[in-house]
Structure 1
């Protein structure tokens, strides 16, 4: 048998073991999408036991913060407000080193439009939708090797920072650091304002040194970003050729609508207390 065949056999064995373990584990919900399970496994470099630990941490944090991860609807008024003033956009394709890139930016700069908790819930809906969608339409069987995030700070003021909810910020960063089903490779901050140091002083206490080292601040121009993210992956408004922000926005909204039932289905997210996990109590959600 070839090495590729052996690897494929081992992958199937490991995934079958993980599926069986998942369904028998009372610390976990009833269902998991096969592609999401593969992401957990790849994130832990194919180590089954480490994959199990990551999965349990992921769902434990989700259920500790149901207002961010479980009680949600991509079409409700809160989500509409977020998507009307800000963009949360997975970008098409993969970088040469196999990373998936996502872009976050304001479309309107009035600070009162920011609702940090609701915006964070929208962020995780987009992420959860992406995790069950192929990373590269041209190569649907290829999974990303990591995650690159671009935050456009254009229009960010200290009034925006004053609207941060500390408990939400703490939950968001902890989930990103210890529970994300992909490896965080880099965070790029572009169009940084002159008072960047004041902004960093607010969020740095919540970020581990390991993650903080992944952050790159682009303070002069967009040119320094192109050394890390190919232009062809970026929107036209950022000097790229991946289409307009409007087109990418439309694609993301379409994906959210198509996955709305999945995102709202408690069978995929909610962990029941063991005495209730008998299959009948789920009827209240149907």
Structure 2
């Protein structure tokens, strides 16, 4: 399959240095890799693949242009969408609950990048109660924003993400929901998306019920050791600011970037409200495990009895 040539050189100087020195990315390598991956995807009877170049380059970059690692990650991504359908179902940005979460800035990447070139994402758990939502609702807007915006963001696919999670407002009921979905969430975070998490920055942990410690313990067990070590708990905003500069953060966290709602209203909500048809079309891109040649990905991901397996894909 011939690949139409485009210039995918990132504009940010820090990212240019990373792709040049760490990924050894050249236009020739991009073209050859894209052609190989597209041909491979079209030969997979169980995958209905998204084939646009920018989407696939994110997976190549996260896999450091290892073609086998890229194939494995893409296979996991499309399979994850079919094996965790509740995360991707009814993703309508005009749905009252989902629109409310988007408007209030419940999950969003910040407009300013981190000095290391990565992007900072912010999750505000307390907004769930304000909009009478559950964990599935915040997961759905997260996959919506990730699929529509984050996968196409050079900062995220090249340099990774600092994920700030404000867990104040996590009730016993919400924590229980997270525990019930922990296997799928851990898989999605570690293996499905072409975004490398540099650190999780948890704040307001002291304002959560005791069951939240079980949530932390569960994810530290499900995550690979390297990922588990990236979970940082900040006792105060001063500690957070040592890792994430104030100019990047929303006002609610001692920053200068505007409120969560203002950031989302300016940078995220307009894109998502224009993406209703895109999201409807995006629903088709997934696997059909009944057509897979060989063992079902369900067994590979979750084990024969449904227990989570630590996949060694970085």
Query: Fold match, TM over 0.5?
Result: yes
Determine the structure 1 residue equivalent to 2:58.
39
User: Structure 2 length normalisation: TM-score?
Assistant: 0.74
Q: Given the alignment of the two structures, is residue 202 of structure 1 paired with residue 202 of structure 2, yes or no?
A: no
Alignment of 1:90-239 (within 5 A): 90-106=109-125, 108=127, 110=129, 113-135=132-154, 143-162=157-176, 164-193=177-206, 198-206=211-219, 207-208=222-223, 209-219=225-235, 221-239=236-254
Q: 2-side partners of 1:153 and 1:60: how far apart?
A: 29
Q: CA deviation at 1:168?
A: 2.7
Q: Would the alpha carbon gap of residues 65 and 157 (structure 1) be closer, same or farther in structure 2, given more than 3 Å must change?
A: closer
- Partner SS, residue 144 of structure 1: helix
| RMSD of Structure 2 on Structure 1 (CA) | 2.9
Count of residue pairs the alignment pairs up: 266
Residues 122 and 10 of structure 1: is their aligned pair in 2 closer, same or farther, counting only changes over 3 Å? same
Three-state SS of the structure 2 residue aligned to 1:113 is coil
| Counterpart contact for 1:111–1:159, Cα < 8 Å | no
| d(CA) in 1 for partners of 2:95, 2:275 | 14
Give the secondary-structure state (helix, strand or coil) at the position aligned to 1:216: strand
Q: Is the 8 A contact 2:144 2:279 kept in 1?
A: yes
Q: Deviations over 1:67-87 (max 9, x none)?
A: 212542222244235446661
| Residue 263 of structure 2 corresponds to residue 248 of structure 1 | yes
Change (3 A) 1:241 1:266: closer
In structure 1, runs of 5+ residues without a counterpart are 137-141, 276-286
> How big is the shift at 1:171?
1.2
CA drift at 1:187 = 0.2
Tell me by how many angstroms 1:31 deviates. 2.5
SS at 2:51 equivalent: coil
Are 1:191 and 1:222, in contact at CA under 8 Å, matched by a contact in 2?
Answer: no
Match of 1:258 among 238, 257, 274: 274
Q: Structure 2: give runs of 5+ residues left out of the alignment.
A: 1-19, 293-314
Q: State the shift of 1:18 in Å.
A: 1.2
Query: TM-score normalised to the size of structure 1?
Result: 0.81
Aligned to 2:7: none
Deviation at 1:224, TM superposition (A): 1.0
